[in-house]
A = this chain, B = another copy of it.
Amino acid sequence: MATEQRTGAGERSDEELSMLLDDQMCFALYAASRAVTALYRPMLDEVGLTYPQYLVLLVLWERGEDAATGVKDIGAALQLDYGTLSPLLKRLEARGLIRRERRADDERAVRIALTPEGAALRERARAFPGEIGAAMGLDDEEFDRTRASLRRLVDNVTAYTRERR
């Protein structure tokens, strides 16, 4: 266990953090995110989904059939833009899991709705979070605290990014 040196002894305290790969939070996040995605892969393969497609379905399952969910709403929930979502949603439509239809009252907007097949898939996915959580192997307290810290981190980073834009 290498000891850290986040805030140095004196001068240049915030510009001289370690450049070591394993000291960096950014790499820990990058590695953890990919490891968890890889953990999902065999489960998602069984239902023929990719991980981002699964996230989109999580949003739709949560909103319900009659929520008038637009592409923009999904993008806001997942922080994904049209460049990612447009082709992804077309693939979900091609698989028969969702329908995409222009709204009559606003021809710009596309309403994304679950098909019965898409809604039914929820039951097959219900066991996923439990399996994933178990494989992570953190106890409830560490799990909750880590998730809370990640949320705080995302909020801070998002605010920071928005400021300097």
Which residues of A pack against B, CB within 8 Å?
4, 6-7, 14-21, 24-40, 42, 51, 55, 58-59, 61-62, 77-79, 122, 125-127, 129-138, 140, 142-147, 149-154, 156-158, 160-161, 164
Which residue of the partner chain B has the closest CB to A33?
Answer: B33
A51 to B27, CA, bound (A): 10
A33 to B153, CA, bound (A): 10
Chain B residues positioned under 8 Å from A30 (CB to CB):
33, 36-37, 51, 55
A16 to B129, CA, bound (A): 8
A14 to B126, CA, bound (A): 11
Q: Contact check: which of B61, B62, B78, B161 meets A38 at CB < 8 Å?
A: B161
State whether A58 and B6 are in contact (beta carbons under 8 Å apart), knowing that A135-B157, A156-B135 are contacts in the complex.
no
Chain B residues positioned under 8 Å from A161 (CB to CB):
35, 38-39, 135
| Closest 4 pairs (CB-CB, A-B) | A137-B156, A33-B33, A17-B129, A135-B160
Minimum CB–CB distance for A94 against chain B, Å: 24
State whether A140 and B6 are in contact (beta carbons under 8 Å apart), knowing that A19-B122, A38-B161, A129-B24 are contacts in the complex.
yes
A78 to B34, CA, bound (A): 11
